[in-house]
Amino acid sequence: MKVLITGGAGFIGSHLAEYHLAKGDTVTAVDDLSTGSKDVFKGFKPDRFTFVEGDILTWKDLDREVKRADRIYHMAAVVGIVRVLREPVEVTRVNVLGTERLLESVVRSHHLPELVIASSSSVYGHTKQELLGEESEFIFRPEQGGLTGYAISKLTNEIQAMAYRHIHGLPITIPRLFNAVGPRQSGNYGFVLPRFIKQALSGIPLTVYGDGTQTRSFCDVRDTVRALALLAENPKAWGQPVNVGNAREITILDLARLVIERSGSSSPIEFITYARGYGSEFRQTTQRRPSIERLQELTDFRHSWSLEQTIDDLIRRNSDRIVPQGRLL
């Protein structure tokens, strides 16, 4: 199978590449390297793998590569709270117009590659519902700033995908991704676990925003990519949003404690106000827990990684790369 991955030098994109290369597939990854890095391809053999530096909005070979692909994962997006707050115009430009350009190219190609358009748990917005099913309500409070622009861009991606499925019959999967974690995730754009690992291994305080009672549900990225592949190959999954994540829930304070315990670190925990981190307007969502019933009805997906196993793996991979004061070698 020939696989095209946009945002292929990013966190999830690089794991998708690794997953398909291990299956014997041929992979082309395109990325503008705005947050991604070619370092993620270390160890990839070049015989079935090609990387192209390109912007999804302007990449001139898009039509040619779309025509060749049997499956396309569209992961390119402006992601991560730090970048989303700093570059709100880019969020709409890249996330919405980039997706539209890709979908138009697929229609022009007169061929039907399986398409995976990444959505996000952020589409549930500020809802207070505890367990989020695909039919749960969305509540957006734009006056609270923060991730609303990103959330709406991802909801727009779902609507674009459903429209192209309806009008052009494209075989599109729409995963709503919930907090993937694992190797190669960068802590530079607001993701919590890589930051905690780095802080614990460097012996500096683990910084918890707010009082740490907000919860999240983390899914190992290797489970995430397997779920995406299973959904993409199942026609019954096409054309509808499907939660992809792990229903196990943990408070951010307990996550910090777990990282300290498993790394044997002597780091203390330091609480930081959201206002100091992200400005006074910012309101954090208190909970994001997916129901994965639909995913399990559509596929035989089961998780193979527990949170503890992921944390241990990250500690093992990073312990020789960190020097005191949190600098990564």
Ligand X SMILES: NC(=O)c1ccc[n+]([C@@H]2O[C@H](COP(=O)([O-])OP(=O)(O)OC[C@H]3O[C@@H](n4cnc5c(N)ncnc54)[C@H](O)[C@@H]3O)[C@@H](O)[C@H]2O)c1
Does 81 sit near ligand X (CB under 6 A)?
no
If the CB atoms of residues 17 and 260 are measured against ligand X, the closer one turns out to be: 17
Question: What does each C-alpha distance from 217 to 50, 135, 220, 287, 291 come to in angstroms?
Answer: 33, 19, 10, 8, 11
Tokens of residue 188, six digits: 């530079």
Does 241 sit near ligand X (CB under 6 A)?
no
The residue range among 115-123, 194-202, 247-255, 281-289 that interacts with ligand X, by the rule CB under 6 A, is 115-123
Q: What number of other Cβ atoms are within 10 A of residue 321's Cβ? A: 11
The residue range among 114-122, 277-285, 299-307, 316-324 that interacts with ligand X, by the rule CB under 6 A, is 114-122
Does 76 sit near ligand X (CB under 6 A)?
yes
CA distance 116 to 67: 16
The residue range among 44-52, 175-183, 261-269, 276-284 that interacts with ligand X, by the rule CB under 6 A, is 175-183
Whats the size of the chain, residue-wise? 329
Does 318 sit near ligand X (CB under 6 A)?
no
Which of these is catalytic: 73, 150, 164, 278? 150
Q: Which residues, other chains included, contact 248 with Cβ-Cβ below 8 Å and sequence gap of 6+?
A: 217, 218, 307
CB of 117 to ligand X, least distance (A): 8
Does 225 sit near ligand X (CB under 6 A)?
no
Inter-residue contact 22 to 49 (CB < 8 Å): no
The residue range among 53-61, 104-112, 293-301, 319-327 that interacts with ligand X, by the rule CB under 6 A, is 53-61
Taking CB under 6 A as the criterion, the residue among 29, 69, 84, 94 binding ligand X is 94
Q: What is the identity of the amino acid at 166? A: H
CB of 244 to ligand X, least distance (A): 9
CA distance 265 to 120: 33
327-328 and 322-323 beta bridge pairing? antiparallel
Taking CB under 6 A as the criterion, the residue among 13, 182, 187, 190 binding ligand X is 13
Does 11 sit near ligand X (CB under 6 A)?
yes
Does 116 sit near ligand X (CB under 6 A)?
no
Does 229 sit near ligand X (CB under 6 A)?
no
By three-state DSSP, how is residue 191 classified?
coil
Determine the size of the site formed for ligand X (CB under 6 A): 29
Q: Which residues, other chains included, contact 170 with Cβ-Cβ below 8 Å and sequence gap of 6+?
A: 103, 106, 107, 112, 115, 161, 164
Q: Does the annotation count 164 as an active-site position?
A: no
Inter-residue contact 58 to 98 (CB < 8 Å): no
Does 228 sit near ligand X (CB under 6 A)?
no
Catalytic residue ranges: 150
Summarize as ranges the residues that interact with ligand X (CB under 6 A).
6-7, 9-13, 31-36, 55-57, 75-79, 94, 98, 118, 120-121, 177, 179-180
